Chain A
Amino acid sequence: MSATWPTIELAVNGETRRVQAAPMKRLLDVLREDLGLTGAKEGCGEGECGSCSVRMNGELVNSCLVPVLQAQGACVETVEGLAQDGELHPLQEAFLHCGGAQCGICTPGMLMAATQLLAQNPHPTIAEVREGLAGNLCRCTGFKRIFDSVLSAATQTTEPAHKAAHAR
């Protein structure tokens, strides 16, 4: 049966990848199962928790709600693409320093939401940080140190999103 599935081509973290997959397969499952990128997590499967958040064509999406056919030709960015040449991304550095990650399960999605926020709004207010991260549930931190991390990354970089949005 799988031989009949279409080939989907997408750029993941800047690298062109091709997968044969059922078109209704979730982008999350394609990333995790077909491409071995297990950074994005499944917390709820219904777009509520944000732990599967990735960026697609410069927008933040819940990869559990994207049928992979709709990612045909898309640029997808995941947590695995944040660090460059072994150097942590400024947001990762800030999370490490400020205590923005505890159990770590929401962290990949949280980082992608934060990346999206800073790409659109390099110097957000605390209210804007709260709104930007509201779709990413964290049960450990009470969010405070996550806000601190994002605000600290924002002040430390003039161009926080070093991987700029792939705007259409």
Chain B
Amino acid sequence: MRGNAEAHELIAPGSLETVLALLAEAPGEWTPIAGGTELMVAHAAGRLNAAKLVSLWGIPDLRSIEKATEALRIGACVPFCDLRRDETVAADFPLLAEAASWIGAIANQSRATVGGNLVNGSPAADSSPALLVYDAELELISVRGTRVIPYAQFHSGYKKNVLESDELVAAIRLPRRFARHRQYLRKVGTRRAMAIAKVALAGTALLESGVVKEIRLAAASLAPFPTRLPKTEAVLVGEPVTDALIASARETLLAEGQPIDDIRSTASYRKGVGANLLEEFLRCLQREGAEG
């Protein structure tokens, strides 16, 4: 334990309004902490720079899953164990339920929150690819009100995002319109559990008579932050899935991905395997196109 608990202030106001007022009063002074699976690691390593922290854990407004006909609204502080157990998530957003099961292991899933996963902004974030291909939107809240942005516009650089200093992510909204889409998600980690993604790929696609009507692709660890792959998507839309198209999509992904070498993997592996994952998804689509 390299950090000193006595050097940090932590308060738990218990209500969203109080937290927002606090953030507004002294912008940038308070660091929100949810389940602590990221910040407490930094704390133990003596790398936690935040002097004043405000707890979001246990604020009821942030920990609910609301189900409307059109959309699911997931509170930012819903821990992944709740996402794994939720029947609607499992039925309508199976990729998100699966991603939730990838987070560390049970003791991490009980504390790590979906909002925390996004705000932390790791390029390898487990929930991000699934949220991106489901067209997730984020509710950003402050005393000034609520604004809604596409999640795809949230990250602005390595570990950077568009949150203002008085804002919190309040919820994630997922439109319930992917039931007919073919869905794909695969994570390639350092091991089967307690693993950080070396690369992960998610996809949702709508086929009509063997032609790609809609496709969304998103990756972890292929860029400084989790991202959609618009150039690769563009190659595929409106086309029948053929061997030539798959080869061309692979080439596009290899050019579009901008991964790095780090202590967990290499850029060339990440790209190569990312292309293989894409091919695996497209081959499924190809088979289905052929069948129906």
Contacts and interface: CB of A to CB of B under 8 A. Distances in A.
- Report whether chain A binds chain B: yes
Nearest to B12: A69
Nearest to B81: A59
Contact of A62 (B11, B33, B108): B108
Interface residues of B, number: 34
A61 B12 contact: no
Interface string A61-83: 11011110110100000000000
A67 B12 CA distance: 11
Contacts of B107: 47, 50, 53, 60-62, 113, 135
Contacts of A60: 106-107, 110
Contacts of A122: none
Nearest to B79: A59
A135 B10 contact: no
A132 to B, nearest CB: 6
Nearest to A116: B106
A139 B12 CA distance: 38
A72 B12 contact: yes
Contacts of B53: 24, 67
Interface in B160-193: 192-193
Given A42-B1, A62-B107, A113-B107, A67 B194 contact: no
A1 interface: yes
Given A60-B107, A62-B107, A135-B107, A26 B1 contact: yes
Contacts of B105: 50, 131, 134-136
A25 interface: yes
A113 B188 CA distance: 25
A68 to B, nearest CB: 8
Contacts of B58: 70
A1 B6 contact: yes
Nearest to A62: B107
B44 interface: yes
A149 to B, nearest CB: 17
A65 B36 contact: yes
Contact of B1 (A29, A117, A137): A29
A22 interface: yes
A42 B10 CA distance: 22
Determine the interface band of chain A, counting residues with CB < 8 A from chain B. Answer: 35 or more
A46 interface: yes
Contacts of A61: 107, 110-111
Contacts, number: 109
B283 interface: no
A67 B33 contact: yes
A15 interface: no
B106 A66 contact: no
Nearest to A64: B44
A135 B104 contact: yes
A131 B194 CA distance: 10
Given A23-B9, A60-B107, A134 B36 contact: no
Interface in B59-99: 81
Contacts of B193: 131, 134-135
Contacts of A48: 194
29 contacts: A1-B6, A22-B5, A23-B12, A24-B8, A26-B43, A26-B44, A29-B5, A45-B44, A47-B40, A47-B107, A50-B105, A53-B107, A59-B81, A59-B111, A61-B107, A61-B110, A62-B107, A65-B35, A65-B41, A67-B33, A70-B55, A70-B57, A72-B12, A113-B107, A116-B106, A134-B193, A135-B105, A135-B106, A135-B107
Given A24-B10, A65-B36, A65-B41, 20 more contacts: A22-B8, A23-B8, A24-B8, A24-B9, A26-B5, A47-B37, A47-B40, A47-B104, A50-B105, A60-B107, A62-B108, A65-B111, A66-B36, A67-B5, A69-B10, A70-B12, A70-B55, A131-B105, A135-B106, A135-B107
Interface of A: 1-2, 21-26, 29, 42, 45-48, 50, 53, 59-62, 64-67, 69-70, 72, 113, 116-117, 131-132, 134-137
Please give me the 9 A-B residue pairs with the lowest Cβ-Cβ distance, nearest first: A135-B105, A134-B193, A23-B10, A45-B44, A59-B110, A25-B5, A22-B5, A65-B40, A24-B5
